[in-house]
Amino acid sequence: MNHIRRHKSWLVALLLAVWCLTLATPAKANIRFFTNVMRNLQHYKVSGDLVQFNLEGSGTGNLTFHLTLPSRRNNFEEIIMLGYLSAGYAIERTGLKVGTVYVTAIIPSADNQMKITKADAALIAQVISKQMDPHKFLGKIDWVN
């Protein structure tokens, strides 16, 4: 009898979670987008423990995506590039209208120093489609700090 009660409470919790997700239609798109970004990062062996996402809307209809990734002192440029590639592939696969992407690399060995960068989605699309070399891309992005 106790087994049935546990099964019912688990089922009720699952149904409640599904109901909440169906009410939040934009959140469903975000979950699909975030899942794509995480899969891409995992493919490149980027640790997902400290990854932070934020997707914001703007008045022009384009979204702004913020991605914060853990890095090491010597590979922050590689991590930034992988962040843009992951976001670009997710934009391509989901069709989400993202206009600007910010990628931040946190370098814990340098007292949590942050390298913040910004790129337009059209510029990222050029790298994804191999119209631009990744090194040239890193030179064209905006280094906020």
| 115 beta partners | 105
Tell me what pLDDT residue 9 has.
61
Tell me what pLDDT residue 83 has.
94
Tens digit of each residue's pLDDT (9 = 90 or more) over 73-113: 778 899 999 999 999 999 999 988 899 999 999 887 767 78
Tell me what pLDDT residue 2 has.
47
The helix (run of H) or strand (run of E) holding residue 99 is: strand 98-107
Rounded to two decimals, the pTM is 0.76
Tokens standing for residue 63: 């979204």
When the pLDDT of each residue in the chain is averaged and rounded to a whole number, the result is 80
Q: CB under 8 Å, gap of 24 or more: what pairs does 105-109 form?
A: 105/68, 105/69, 105/70, 105/71, 105/76, 105/79, 105/80, 106/50, 106/68, 106/69, 106/70, 106/71, 107/71, 107/72, 107/73, 107/76, 108/70, 108/71, 108/72, 109/72, 109/73
C-alpha–C-alpha distance, residues 100 and 29, integer Å:
17
Tens digit of each residue's pLDDT (9 = 90 or more) over 123-137: 999 999 999 999 999
The band of 52, judged by pLDDT with boundaries at 50, 70 and 90, is confident
Query: Which domains can be identified in the chain, with CATH numbers?
Result: 25-143 (3.30.70)
Tell me what pLDDT residue 74 has.
78
